Amino acid sequence: MGDHPFVAILAFGVALLVPGVLSRRLNVPGPILLVPFGALVGLLPAMRGLHVQPEVVLNVFLPPLIYRAAFLTAPRESRQDAVPITVLAVGLTTATALCVMVAAGLAVPGLPWAAALALGAAIAPTDPVAATSVLQRVGAPRRLVTILEGESLLNDGVALTLFGLALSGLSGPVTVADGVLELLRVVCGGILYGLALAWVIGKVRRVFHDPGSQITLSLLTPFLAYLPAEQLHVSGVLATIVTGFTLGISPQGVLQPASRLTGQVFWRVLSHLLESTLFVLLGAQVMDVFHEVRDRPWTQLVLTAVVIVAVVVVLRLAWTTLVLAPVRVRRPIERRERVVLGWAGMRGAITLAIALSIPLDAPNRALLIFLAACVVLVTLGAQATTLAPLLRRLGVGEPEEEVQEEAMAREAILEAALARLDDLAADDRVDDRTAEVFRQLFELRLDRVREVLGDSDGGEGETAPESHHKGLRKELVRAQREKLRHLYRKGVIGADTMRRLDHELDVEERRRVSGGA
């Protein structure tokens, strides 16, 4: 970072913080502002010579981002829509990578097929953060959010597997047979290693009970999945996905309530920092990229970027509206919903991570990064900002049954708490006075839920009993959580509702265990 590291760190911090404030006020996606701020930082003398090694991007940024996405995947919903998710994640991702490879090869004379495939693999995976945040904010059907999240999880693995094949092609000739065999070995090895590691981590987590140790282990897990797998020459991405997904659906993989709240905040902040840093790093290297492509005619650069962006956007719209239409699913995806899925194909942090990890000696590396950056900025700028108006124009909104789902779940878990309270009182494990105080508390909440659908106050303003009854309170929270898990396993509620109410129970349990603090 030059001769003034303090100035460089300060400038980098400003580039991370200011765009976030401006994006909320201007109501635009943050990455659109992060890149130009990064470019301004790159002009500073203290930032001259800033180069991020490709292996740093792959080994530091990718594992935690992929692991968190896999951990938060909704298993039952993803299984119900496994067919459309697979059609998008495998079929569309592969088709996008190959079509971009062909388009780049035709638009850039002399570009090796391996370099063109590396560009296609970088551009192929979608980033669900911008899309799902818009969809959730405007109340879109949760099914669309689930499909987008499931697609983005799987297409990362598909794209990075294709990227690995492209890197092999850059280092030497690869035949089709060799490529297929290598692909099978890498995929199967990554999956098996991920399953084995998830089993080990699940056992190890039982040893640690304090929040610090549990969160530290959760931070180490994606790197334990990715780095050894890569050393074994199997897919580190698939190993990380399998590890995260397996731990996310396993009771042994979930943090204890006392650690879960802190862990959620930690991972949310970490993911935000990693994604924002990738965009700023891209902006900081923009001048170097422009410097390396300055010899090319601007008309050729613009035309090539337009062609690549058009291929990506048009292919996705055609795929979602035409290819998804005849797909057999339990509940068909309406045409207007398929249009929304087609327009929600924004690219983001994963695309930047793959593009920046292209080897430094790769042919036309600067041009490839330039084209990938154009796709990211155009899709974020054009699609993310117009997705909400498109939803309103098409009339795609959250069905009434999904709105009522949360109120029904609240009613069920409160009734479970009351039933457990009656059992404890009948067994003389709690005195009548204490039982009556808690009964009034939960009945008050139950009345509110039945009166106002979707009320999420969680009893705000209620007077909780004194802290010396925290053992009873913990028992009632446990009864509610068991009922919540039962509702999800039976398919009565979705993963979003379960996580939202589970989070409220975590807050309640932690507040009461800590004496009401």
Residue 511 has pLDDT above 60, yes or no: no
Query: For position 160, what pLDDT does the model report?
Result: 83
- Tens digits of residue pLDDT in 58-67: 788 889 988 8
Residue 516 has pLDDT above 60, yes or no: no
Query: For position 40, what pLDDT does the model report?
Result: 80
Mean pLDDT of the chain: 79
Q: Yes or no: say if 333 and 146 are a contact pair by the CB < 8 Å rule.
A: no
Query: For position 106, what pLDDT does the model report?
Result: 92
Q: Greater confidence, 335 or 140?
A: 335
- Tens digits of residue pLDDT in 45-55: 766 656 667 67
Q: How confident is the model at residue 459 (pLDDT cuts 50, 70, 90)?
A: very low
Q: How many helices (H) and strands (E) does the chain have?
A: 24, 0
Burial status of residue 1 (CB atoms within 10 A of its CB: 0-12, 13-18, 19 or more): middle
**Across 150-154, 331-335, 371-375, 477-481, which has the greatest mean pLDDT?**
371-375
- The domain 52-394 is classified under which CATH number: 1.10.10.10, 1.20.1530.20, 1.10.3470.10, 3.30.210.10? 1.20.1530.20
Q: Greater confidence, 25 or 269?
A: 269
Structural domain spans, the chain? 1-50, 52-394, 400-511
Q: Yes or no: say if 324 and 87 are a contact pair by the CB < 8 Å rule.
A: yes
Q: DSSP secondary structure string, 303-349? A: HHHHHHHHHHHHHHHHIIIIISTT---SSPPPHHHHHHHHHT----H
Distance (Å, whole) CA 283 – CA 27: 21
Query: For position 467, what pLDDT does the model report?
Result: 43
Q: Greater confidence, 291 or 379?
A: 379
Distance (Å, whole) CA 14 – CA 21: 11
Q: Which long-range contacts (CB under 8 A, 24 or more apart) does 2-8 make?
A: 2/45, 2/46, 2/47, 2/48, 2/49, 3/46, 4/45, 4/46, 5/46, 7/44, 7/46, 8/44, 8/46, 8/47, 8/50
Q: How confident is the model at residue 450 (pLDDT cuts 50, 70, 90)?
A: low
Percent of the chain at pLDDT above 70? 80
- What is the Rg, in whole angstroms, of the alpha carbon atoms belonging to the chain? 25
Percent of the chain at pLDDT above 90? 17
Query: For position 254, what pLDDT does the model report?
Result: 60
Identify the sign of the CA torsion 161, 163, 169, 172.
Answer: negative
Q: In 3D, which of 2, 1, 35, 3 has the Cα closest to residue 16?
A: 35
**Across 2-11, 137-146, 264-273, which has the greatest mean pLDDT?**
264-273
Residue 35 has pLDDT above 80, yes or no: no
Query: For position 316, what pLDDT does the model report?
Result: 96
Residue 290 has pLDDT above 60, yes or no: yes
Q: In 3D, which of 38, 13, 96, 495 has the Cα closest to residue 314?
A: 96
Query: For position 406, what pLDDT does the model report?
Result: 67
**Across 49-53, 197-201, 321-325, which has the greatest mean pLDDT?**
197-201
Query: For position 466, what pLDDT does the model report?
Result: 46
pLDDT, average across residues 345-349: 83
Q: Greater confidence, 325 or 452?
A: 325
Q: Which long-range contacts (CB under 8 A, 24 or more apart) does 257-261 make?
A: 257/505, 257/506, 257/509, 257/510, 258/211, 258/509, 258/510, 258/513, 259/210, 259/211, 259/214, 259/215, 260/506, 261/503, 261/506, 261/507, 261/510
Of 25-39, 318-332, 468-482, the least confident: 468-482
Residue 173 has pLDDT above 90, yes or no: no
pLDDT, average across residues 419-435: 79
- Tens digits of residue pLDDT in 96-130: 999 999 999 999 888 998 999 999 999 999 876 66
Residue 457 has pLDDT above 90, yes or no: no
Helix (H, G, I), strand (E, B) or coil at 113: helix
